[in-house]
């Protein structure tokens, strides 16, 4: 840990973090600054949210004691983060407080150290995080809403990654059928789960990204039935079965870049394709339609952020509204959730 605190990359990251804090004119500005989020979110136990500034700002400025507040609705991890920071009450002063800065610095160094351990043993940083954080999960949805707790619990229980395509209620039942929530208050039981997760992990990573695809067809179904784009297809039979695009062997012109296919892929074989964004950016005027307009969720809406969805308020609002699903599923939720 002491060596990590002296690492040049870590020191540079922390220096930029403090510099951004000094220059911030408001808590809202600080909570959308990438230099702040790069340290703040891992330190608060939410490293996967570094790229979601809109959601971070809204959640961390909400009252964690309010059951209707965004932080409380997003789960125990967000609620704990908002309570720790205290920005909802003290604003920028809470983040600039010397004791808070030191606390966040120490937590970030610890995070960076643990992340480096994965190079020695896959999943070790997840297991250590689980040991620290499992006890704060009150509901099964607190587990499912935290990426790390989810990975450890499902891995330790032997649940397949494909469970992610089921409804959140079905996933919750699958977990609680094998694990009682009160077990997470037992230190010995938590340690045993962490050990089981460590055994279930494998250091092997396929060299070819295409090897990750198991031809389950979920991306094809979500593209056709949820997004309505029909940009992906399955071709061939038996050993010749393969994932294809429409038109074949070319980048699909029907792709709207919504990312729904990536969200349901159980093996991580699909990532957002930059070509889709490039094609959308080539349009002008009224043809520069927001992806939620292309999905039929916000008819007529135009993109005003040059398709940089990570910094778009509409995108952050949609993700918060659809959580824990991808926003594309808002088309299928009907009256349950409306933008």
The architecture in CATH of the region 210-336 reads 2-Layer Sandwich (3.30)
Stated pTM of the model: 0.49
- Domain 2-117, CATH among 1.10.287.110, 1.10.3700.10, 3.40.366.10, 3.40.50.300: 1.10.3700.10
Helix (H, G, I), strand (E, B) or coil at 243: strand
pLDDT the model gives residue 65: 92
**For every one of its 339 residues, what pLDDT tens digit does the chain have, with 9 covering 90 and above?**
566 567 777 888 999 999 999 999 999 999 999 999 999 999 998 888 888 899 999 999 999 999 899 998 888 889 989 999 999 999 999 999 999 999 999 999 988 887 776 666 667 778 888 888 888 888 888 888 888 888 889 888 888 777 777 778 888 888 888 889 999 999 889 888 888 887 555 443 444 444 567 777 788 888 888 887 788 887 776 666 677 765 544 555 677 777 788 777 777 777 665 666 677 777 777 777 887 888 888 887 888 777 777 677 887 788 778 776 778 887 665 534 444
pLDDT the model gives residue 204: 38
CA torsion, ordered 305, 311, 314, 318, to nearest 10 deg: 140
Element holding 97 (H helix, E strand) = none
pLDDT the model gives residue 4: 59
The CA distance from 154 to 1, in Å, is 29
The answer to whether the Cα torsion of 170, 214, 237, 231 is positive or negative is positive
The CA distance from 53 to 36, in Å, is 10
pLDDT the model gives residue 274: 60
- How do the domains of the chain map onto residue ranges? 2-117, 124-200, 210-336
pLDDT the model gives residue 91: 93
pLDDT the model gives residue 117: 67
pLDDT the model gives residue 303: 82
What are the DSSP calls for 108-168, one per residue?
A: HHHHHHHHHHTTTSTTHHHHHHHHHHGGG--SHHHHHTSHHHHHHHHHHHT--GGGGGS-H
pLDDT the model gives residue 242: 73
Closest C-alpha to 100, from 30, 49, 29, 190: 30
């Amino acid at each position: 840990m002491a060596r990590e605190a002296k690492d040049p990359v870590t020191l540079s990251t922390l220096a930029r973090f403090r510099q951004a804090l000094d220059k911030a004119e408001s808590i809202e500005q600080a909570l959308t600054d990438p230099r702040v989020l790069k340290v703040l979110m891992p330190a608060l136990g939410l490293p996967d949210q570094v790229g979601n500034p809109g959601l971070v700002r809204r959640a961390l400025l909400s009252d964690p004691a309010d059951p209707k507040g965004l932080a409380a609705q997003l789960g125990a991890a967000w609620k704990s983060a908002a309570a720790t920071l205290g920005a909802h009450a003290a604003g920028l002063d809470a983040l600039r407080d010397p004791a808070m800065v030191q606390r966040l610095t120490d937590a970030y160094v610890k995070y960076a150290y643990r992340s480096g351990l994965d190079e020695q043993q896959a999943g070790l940083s997840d297991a250590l995080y689980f040991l620290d954080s499992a006890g704060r999960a009150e509901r099964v949805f607190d587990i499912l809403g935290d990426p790390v707790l989810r990975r450890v619990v499902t891995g330790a229980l032997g649940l397949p990654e494909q469970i992610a395509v089921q409804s959140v209620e079905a996933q919750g039942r699958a977990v609680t059928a094998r694990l009682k929530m009160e077990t997470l208050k037992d230190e010995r039981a938590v340690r045993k789960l962490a050990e089981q997760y460590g055994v279930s992990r494998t250091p092997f990573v396929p060299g070819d990204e295409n090897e990750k695809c198991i031809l389950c067809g979920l991306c094809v179904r979500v593209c056709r039935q949820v997004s309505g784009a029909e940009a992906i297809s399955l071709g061939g039979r038996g050993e010749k079965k393969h994932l294809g695009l429409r038109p074949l062997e070319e980048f699909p012109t029907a792709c709207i870049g919504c990312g729904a296919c990536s969200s349901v892929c159980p093996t991580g074989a699909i990532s957002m394709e930059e070509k889709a964004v490039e094609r959308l950016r080539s349009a002008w005027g009224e043809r520069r339609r927001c992806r939620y307009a292309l999905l039929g969720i916000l008819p007529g809406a135009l993109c005003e952020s040059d398709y940089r969805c990570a910094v778009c308020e509409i995108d952050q609002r949609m993700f918060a509204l659809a959580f824990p699903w991808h926003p594309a599923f808002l088309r299928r939720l009907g009256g349950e959730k409306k933008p």
